[in-house]
């Protein structure tokens, strides 16, 4: 984890990102802009999941939301040197550490 | 194929993606250019062959297979085939499927002897992963390292020699846009063709699973020390693209800028093209009248002049508009803005069951449906692709413009601004109706499936280079001429024959008068077209028009603008070419149903005709392109019937109800 840490307290794991308490299971939609995050895993239907992995969004990879589009829907994500427009639905599948 | 005098070779063969022609005599090795979308393949193709191909800064522009021989000065020639970009080897769009077929050697006619993989130097990991899929085929392979000029922007240097050693394939840095490195690439290709190397090919041994493959690629690159000074995080470094994105994708400014770009695009299509269109129109009408004067008066000369040259003229009049549209689209694509536009409208479009990428075909649809249908190939999911193609005929294409101009001139005589306003309303409502149809169909007709993936690459902004841009504009425009021109000319020639021939009775020999024979009729009233029109007259009755206008509607199936010239023929406008439009309007206003003094062109019938042209798919070229793109006659025929039927029903309903309310 680059900018945060997590600490287990009893059964619950608390996640701190940039000093903020975040949800334990955070997706790309919740990510702050222009901050690097590490991918934990990808959910979603098999075909779409495979395609996101093919694009280089693999567990352990670092990515960041660099821009959101006026209607707030496609998020522009920087990953492996590429700017990628992802719909919120797709960003939801990308879980972050 | 090279011209001996100038030494500038011209190699440019563009073929249908599914049926590329096979050069029987060519014994040249076939080299396929592959790579992930937007890796610079097409620019490289341009540099290698000196030909003109589609190149653009928009992912997935290569929608047809283009092929050409490499330039002579680069050494031993090879036949290069540009394959569509592949995002993922689990192919989802027809383009990707085609590329995978060729690479794996499953394609019927394109069998590569060697492969060149375009790899974007700024996105090595992702592109090398695709390269590993290609390398697994164990064919002679060379990697062309593109986008080298962008490396300083992300503060990176690449040691090509070390990279070569690490991945076990020849790597040649190139710049397709300037042609730098093209000769070295050809040399490398010839070397691997002559000596198929058996050295350790690390790329081919990468695992297929994406997670493991990416991991190994990173290790490979790290161990090789080929990349220097790479920041883990490059986004801050390419601040140029980020800064422009902050403006054009701004929360409040984003859409105003987008609409300003669109308005600018359309106004320049209409204003800048106008003088050229007038010139072409004038040239063709002069040629026709000159031919009619100088050639001996015969059926053949009239057929040549009016049927053939007139048909060519009908196509070429729109050529300036198409050229300007393609040129402006090329600027937008090359600079990288088009992908942003597609991202901007993805949300509203996906609500309608379309895709962000549907935006480009819809935009082209306002010039002509034919390039628009072709552009729909870049949409990955079949459902969204078909839905986009389905609504494209509604976009108000430029062939409708002269028809609207004529009808609005008749409806609102003498007030240019209100006609202009009405035209604006027609254009906007064509977009709205298209959205409505798409929304209704995706909600009620098509099976409900999960929305597809957007995952669209936003290329970095680059300054478009003039020369490749002109080359591409020309290649797209000429391919439009070929694709749309041939059917229009054939159909207009056929329609000329139909409207000038008919079964008549020869007057001079009364004995044979009972036997009808094929004669040339000077009078339209006895032609096949007239007979067809008269047969259809009861059906035209609800629209409030007579058979002469019906003939116009039928002839408009060649191309909508033919309606105007048919109106000129059936309402007997002749003589002075300059005042043809005014003469036609005058004759139309005076026209009555034969035998009565009931006017044909009244407020209600003109409105009805506008509605008919708004909906009706009166363009057989579009039907044929839709058929070849969807590979389904049923869909193309259904589309034709659907829109023409809706147009007819709505026009009739409008005329009948207007008359009911006393508007004549």
Q: Quick one: pLDDT band at residue B580, thresholds 50, 70, 90?
A: low
Query: Could you tell me if B36 lies within 8 Å of chain A, comparing CB atoms?
Result: no
B346–A86 CB contact, under 8 Å: no
Chain B residues near residue A59 by CB distance under 8 angstroms: 211
Q: What is the mean pLDDT of residues A41-49?
A: 85
Work out the mean pLDDT of chain B and round it to a whole number: 79
B186, B229: one domain = yes
Cβ atoms of B81 and B48 within 8 Å: the answer is: no
Query: Could you tell me if B100 lies within 8 Å of chain A, comparing CB atoms?
Result: no
* Residue B298 forms part of a structural domain: yes
Q: Quick one: pLDDT band at residue B56, thresholds 50, 70, 90?
A: very low
A80–B123 CB contact, under 8 Å: yes
* Residue A54 forms part of a structural domain: yes
In this prediction, residue A5 carries a pLDDT of 57
Q: What is the mean pLDDT of residues B388-399?
A: 90
In this prediction, residue B508 carries a pLDDT of 41
B302, B426: one domain = yes
**DSSP classification of residue B9:** B
Q: Rounded to the nearest 10 degrees, how much is the dihedral formed by the CA atoms of B105, B106, B107, B109?
A: 70
- Comparing B498 with A14, the larger pLDDT belongs to B498
- Comparing A20 with B485, the larger pLDDT belongs to B485
CATH for B79? 3.40.50.300
* pLDDT tens column, B561-573: 778 877 877 776 5
B39, B118: one domain = yes
Q: Quick one: pLDDT band at residue B615, thresholds 50, 70, 90?
A: very high
Q: Does the pLDDT at position B390 exceed 90?
A: yes
Q: What is the chain B residue with the closest CA to A75?
A: B343
B197, B309: one domain = no
Query: Could you tell me if A24 lies within 8 Å of chain B, comparing CB atoms?
Result: no
Chain B residues near residue A41 by CB distance under 8 angstroms: none
* Residue A4 forms part of a structural domain: no
In this prediction, residue B524 carries a pLDDT of 58
Query: Could you tell me if B381 lies within 8 Å of chain A, comparing CB atoms?
Result: no
d(CA B378, CA B360): 10
**Mutation for testing the A interface, residue in B343, B348, B380 having most A CBs under 10 Å:** B343
Q: Does the pLDDT at position B501 exceed 70?
A: yes
Q: Does the pLDDT at position B513 exceed 70?
A: no
In this prediction, residue B643 carries a pLDDT of 94
In this prediction, residue B504 carries a pLDDT of 55
* pLDDT tens column, B8-23: 333 333 444 333 444 4
**Token pair recorded at residue A53:** 């992995």
* Residue A14 forms part of a structural domain: no
Q: How many residues does chain A have?
A: 97
* Residue B598 forms part of a structural domain: yes
Rg (CA), chain A: 13
Pairing of strands B170-173, B141-146: parallel
pTM assigned to the model:
0.78
Question: Which of A47, A70, A82 shows the shortest C-beta gap to B251?
Answer: A70
Among B356-360, B368-372, B584-588, the minimum mean pLDDT is found in B584-588
User: Angle formed by the axes of helices B400-411 and B580-590, to 10°?
Assistant: 60
Last residue of a domain, one of B445, B471, B497: B471
CATH for A40? 2.30.30.90
* Residue A44 forms part of a structural domain: yes
Q: Quick one: pLDDT band at residue B53, thresholds 50, 70, 90?
A: low
d(CA B409, CA B580): 13
Work out the mean pLDDT of chain A and round it to a whole number: 78
Among B308-312, B327-331, B415-419, B525-529, the minimum mean pLDDT is found in B525-529
> How many angstroms separate the CA of residue A91 from the nearest CA in chain B?
10
> How many angstroms separate the CA of residue B528 from the nearest CA in chain A?
56
Q: Does the pLDDT at position A18 exceed 60?
A: no
In this prediction, residue A11 carries a pLDDT of 52
d(CA B67, CA B610): 43
Q: Quick one: pLDDT band at residue B436, thresholds 50, 70, 90?
A: very high
**Mutation for testing the B interface, residue in A40, A68, A69 having most B CBs under 10 Å:** A69
**DSSP classification of residue B76:** S
**Angle (nearest 5°) at CA B133 between B127 and B134:** 90
Chain B residues near residue A89 by CB distance under 8 angstroms: 451
B227, B270: one domain = no
Q: Does the pLDDT at position B331 exceed 70?
A: yes
Query: Could you tell me if A56 lies within 8 Å of chain B, comparing CB atoms?
Result: yes
The CA–CA distances, whole Å, from B539 to B430, B565, B609 equal 26, 23, 14
B204, B265: one domain = no
Which residues are within 8 A (CB) of B90 and not within 5 positions of it... i.e. 6 or more apart?
A: A47, A50, A51, A54
> How many angstroms separate the CA of residue B561 from the nearest CA in chain A?
39
A74–B347 CB contact, under 8 Å: yes
> How many angstroms separate the CA of residue B5 from the nearest CA in chain A?
46
> How many angstroms separate the CA of residue B452 from the nearest CA in chain A?
8
Q: Does the pLDDT at position B144 exceed 70?
A: yes
Most confident of A49-58, B51-60, B270-279, B441-450: A49-58
Question: Which of B125, B242, B459 shows the shortest C-beta gap to A56?
Answer: B125
B409, B553: one domain = no
Chain B residues near residue A70 by CB distance under 8 angstroms: 249-252, 254-255, 344
Q: How many domains does chain B have?
A: 3
Cβ atoms of B587 and B571 within 8 Å: the answer is: yes
d(CA B1, CA A86): 46
Q: What is the chain A residue with the closest CA to B249?
A: A69
- Comparing B416 with A82, the larger pLDDT belongs to A82
Dihedral (CA of A70, A74, A80, A82) sign: negative
Q: Does the pLDDT at position B98 exceed 70?
A: yes
Among B46-60, B73-87, B154-168, B260-274, the minimum mean pLDDT is found in B46-60
Question: Which of A45, A61, A69 shows the shortest C-beta gap to B450?
Answer: A45
B124–A81 CB contact, under 8 Å: yes
* Residue B608 forms part of a structural domain: yes
Last residue of a domain, one of B206, B237, B268: B237
Chain B residues near residue A52 by CB distance under 8 angstroms: 453, 455
Q: Quick one: pLDDT band at residue B598, thresholds 50, 70, 90?
A: confident
- Comparing B649 with B427, the larger pLDDT belongs to B649
State the CB neighbour count (10 A cutoff) for residue B227: 17
Pairing of strands B227-228, B501-504: unpaired
> How many angstroms separate the CA of residue A2 from the nearest CA in chain B?
12
* Residue A16 forms part of a structural domain: no
Q: Does the pLDDT at position B31 exceed 80?
A: yes
Q: Quick one: pLDDT band at residue B432, thresholds 50, 70, 90?
A: very high
B211–A78 CB contact, under 8 Å: no
In this prediction, residue B509 carries a pLDDT of 42
* Residue B477 forms part of a structural domain: no
Last residue of a domain, one of B237, B268, B299: B237
Q: Quick one: pLDDT band at residue B58, thresholds 50, 70, 90?
A: very low
Q: Rounded to the nearest 10 degrees, how much is the dihedral formed by the CA atoms of B651, B652, B653, B658?
A: 90
Q: Does the pLDDT at position B581 exceed 70?
A: no
**DSSP classification of residue B464:** P
Q: Quick one: pLDDT band at residue B613, thresholds 50, 70, 90?
A: very high
d(CA B570, CA B573): 8
Chain A residues near residue B58 by CB distance under 8 angstroms: none
d(CA A28, CA A74): 12
* pLDDT tens column, B166-197: 888 889 999 888 888 888 898 888 888 887 76
Query: Could you tell me if B449 lies within 8 Å of chain A, comparing CB atoms?
Result: no
**How many beta-carbon contacts under 8 Å exist across A and B?**
130
B88, B30: one domain = yes
* pLDDT tens column, B546-565: 888 888 888 888 778 778 87
> How many angstroms separate the CA of residue A58 from the nearest CA in chain B?
6
Q: What range does the domain containing B413 cover?
A: 254-471
Query: Could you tell me if B339 lies within 8 Å of chain A, comparing CB atoms?
Result: yes
Among A7-11, B75-79, B111-115, B378-382, the minimum mean pLDDT is found in A7-11
Output phi, psi for A65, to 5 deg: -85, 120
B599, B640: one domain = yes
Q: What is the ipTM of this complex?
A: 0.79
Q: How many domains does chain A have?
A: 1
Question: Which of A56, A71, A84 shows the shortest C-beta gap to B214?
Answer: A56
> How many angstroms separate the CA of residue B458 from the nearest CA in chain A?
5
Contacts of residues A36-39 at CB distance under 8 Å and 24 or more positions apart, as own/partner, are A36/A2, A36/A3, A36/A62, A36/A63, A36/A64, A36/B232, A36/B233, A37/A2, A37/A62, A37/A63, A37/A64, A37/A96, A37/A97, A38/A1, A38/A2, A38/A62, A38/A96, A38/A97, A39/A63, A39/A94, A39/A95, A39/A96, A39/A97
Q: Quick one: pLDDT band at residue B138, thresholds 50, 70, 90?
A: confident
Give residue B138's region: left, alpha or beta (phi > 0; psi -120 to 50).
Answer: left
Rg (CA), chain B: 28
Q: Does the pLDDT at position B204 exceed 90?
A: no
Which residue intervals of B295-345 are DSSP H helices? 299-302, 310-316, 319-335, 337-344
What strands, in cross-sheet order, belong to the sheet with A26-27? Answer: A26-27, A94-96, A37-42, A62-68, A75-79, A82-86, B456-457
> How many angstroms separate the CA of residue A9 from the nearest CA in chain B?
32
Chain B residues near residue A49 by CB distance under 8 angstroms: none
Q: Does the pLDDT at position B295 exceed 90?
A: no
Structure-token match 């840490």, residue found: A5
* pLDDT tens column, B260-283: 998 888 778 778 888 888 888 888
Query: Could you tell me if A28 lies within 8 Å of chain B, comparing CB atoms?
Result: no
* Residue A43 forms part of a structural domain: yes
Q: Quick one: pLDDT band at residue B599, thresholds 50, 70, 90?
A: confident
A90–B453 CB contact, under 8 Å: yes
Question: Which of A45, A50, A69 shows the shortest C-beta gap to B90?
Answer: A50
Query: Could you tell me if B205 lies within 8 Å of chain A, comparing CB atoms?
Result: no
Q: What range does the domain containing A54 cover?
A: 25-96
* Residue B491 forms part of a structural domain: no
Q: Quick one: pLDDT band at residue B145, thresholds 50, 70, 90?
A: very high
Q: Quick one: pLDDT band at residue A1, thresholds 50, 70, 90?
A: very low
């Amino acid at each position: 984890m680059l900018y945060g840490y997590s600490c287990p307290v009893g059964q619950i794991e608390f996640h701190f990102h940039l000093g903020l308490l975040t949800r334990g299971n955070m997706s790309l939609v919740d990510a702050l802009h222009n901050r690097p995050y590490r991918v934990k895993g990808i959910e979603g239907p098999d075909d779409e999941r495979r395609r996101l992995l093919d694009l280089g969004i693999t567990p352990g990879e670092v990515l960041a939301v660099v821009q959101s589009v006026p209607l707030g829907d496609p998020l522009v994500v920087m990953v492996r040197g590429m700017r990628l427009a992802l719909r919120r639905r797709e960003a939801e599948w990308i879980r972050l550490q | 194929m090279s011209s001996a005098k100038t030494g500038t070779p011209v190699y440019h063969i563009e073929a249908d993606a599914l049926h590329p022609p096979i050069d029987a005599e060519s014994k040249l090795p076939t080299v396929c250019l592959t790579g992930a979308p937007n890796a610079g393949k097409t620019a490289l193709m341009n540099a290698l062959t000196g030909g003109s191909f589609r190149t653009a800064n928009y992912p997935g522009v290569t929608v047809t297979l283009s092929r050409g021989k490499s330039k002579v000065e680069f050494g031993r020639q090879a036949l290069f085939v540009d394959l569509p970009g592949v995002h993922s080897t689990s192919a989802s769009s027809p383009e990707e499927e085609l590329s995978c077929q060729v690479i794996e050697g499953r394609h019927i006619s394109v069998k590569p002897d060697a492969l060149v993989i375009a790899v974007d130097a700024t996105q090595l990991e992702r592109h090398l992963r695709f390269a590993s899929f290609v390398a697994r085929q164990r064919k002679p392979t060379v990697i062309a390292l593109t986008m080298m000029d962008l490396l300083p922007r992300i503060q990176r240097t690449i040691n090509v020699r070390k990279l070569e050693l690490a991945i076990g394939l020849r790597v040649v840095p190139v710049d397709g846009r300037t042609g730098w490195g093209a000769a070295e690439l050809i040399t490398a290709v010839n070397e691997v063709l002559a000596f198929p190397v058996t050295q350790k090919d690390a790329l081919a041994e990468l695992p297929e699973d994406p997670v493991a493959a990416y991991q190994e690629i990173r290790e490979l690159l790290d161990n090789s020390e080929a990349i220097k000074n790479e920041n883990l995080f490059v986004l801050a470094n390419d601040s140029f693209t980020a800064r422009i994105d902050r403006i054009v994708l701004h929360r409040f400014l984003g859409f105003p800028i987008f609409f300003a770009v669109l308005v600018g695009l359309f106004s320049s299509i209409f204003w800048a093209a106008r003088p050229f269109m007038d010139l072409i129109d004038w040239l063709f009408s002069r040629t026709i009248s000159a031919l009619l004067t100088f050639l001996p008066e015969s059926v053949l000369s009239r057929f040549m002049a009016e049927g053939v040259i007139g048909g060519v003229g009908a196509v070429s009049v729109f050529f300036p508009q198409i050229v300007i549209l393609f040129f402006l689209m090329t600027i937008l694509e090359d600079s990288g803005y088009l992908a942003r536009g597609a991202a901007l409208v993805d949300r509203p479009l996906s609500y309608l069951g379309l895709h962000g990428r549907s935006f480009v075909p819809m935009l082209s649809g306002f010039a002509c449906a034919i390039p628009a249908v072709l552009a729909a190939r870049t949409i990955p999911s079949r459902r969204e692709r078909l839905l986009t193609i389905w609504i494209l005929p509604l976009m108000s294409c430029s062939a409708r413009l002269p028809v609207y101009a004529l009808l609005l001139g008749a409806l609102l005589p003498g007030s240019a601004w209100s006609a202009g306003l009405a035209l604006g309303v027609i254009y906007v409502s064509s977009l709205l109706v298209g959205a409505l149809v798409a929304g209704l169909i995706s909600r009620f007709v098509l099976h409900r499936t999960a929305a597809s993936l957007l995952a669209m690459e936003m290329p970095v902004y680059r300054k478009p280079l003039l020369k490749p841009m002109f080359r591409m504009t020309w290649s797209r425009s000429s391919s439009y001429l070929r694709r749309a021109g041939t059917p229009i000319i054939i159909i207009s020639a056929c329609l000329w024959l139909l409207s000038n021939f008919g079964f008549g009775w020869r007057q001079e020999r009364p004995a044979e008068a009972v036997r009808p024979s094929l004669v040339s009729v000077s009078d339209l009233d006895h032609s096949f077209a007239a007979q067809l029109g008269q047969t259809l007259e009861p059906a035209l009755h609800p629209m409030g028009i007579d058979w002469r206008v019906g003939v116009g509607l039928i002839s408009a199936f060649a191309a909508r603008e033919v309606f105007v010239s048919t109106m000129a023929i059936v309402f007997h406008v002749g003589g002075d070419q300059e005042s043809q439009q005014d003469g036609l309007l005058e004759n139309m206003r005076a026209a009555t149903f034969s035998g009565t003094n009931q006017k044909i062109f009244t407020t209600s019938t003109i409105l009805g005709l506008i509605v008919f042209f708004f909906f009706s798919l009166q363009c057989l070229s579009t039907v044929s392109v839709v058929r070849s793109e969807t590979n389904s006659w049923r869909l193309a025929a259904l589309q034709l019937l659907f829109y023409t039927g809706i147009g007819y029903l709505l026009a009739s309903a409008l005329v009948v109800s207007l008359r009911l309310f006393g508007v004549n």
